Amino acid sequence: MEQEFFLYKGRPLVRHENTIYYGNMYDPYVVMLQIKSTKPFQDMQIADEVSVQMMATDLSLPPQKLIAKRADKHGLYPALDIAAIWLDRECGEVPETK
> Looking at residue 64, what DSSP letter applies?
H
The answer as to whether 5 is a domain residue is: no
33-69, pLDDT tens digit by residue? 999 999 999 999 999 999 999 999 998 999 889 999 9
Counted domains in the chain: 1
Provide the pLDDT for residue 1. 47
Q: Are 39 and 21 in contact (CB under 8 A)?
A: no
pLDDT tens-place string over residues 84-93:
999 999 988 8
Boundaries of domain holding 24: 10-91
Give every CB contact of residue 11 below 8 A, 6+ residues apart in sequence. Answer: 22, 23, 24, 84, 87, 94
- The pLDDT, as a whole number, for residue 29 is 96
Res. 97 pLDDT band, cuts 50 70 90: low
Give residue 66's pLDDT: 93
Are 52 and 68 contacting, i.e. CB atoms less than 8 angstroms apart? no
Query: Would you give the end-to-end CA distance of the chain in angstroms?
Result: 23
Average pLDDT, the chain: 91
Q: Percent of the chain, pLDDT > 70?
A: 93
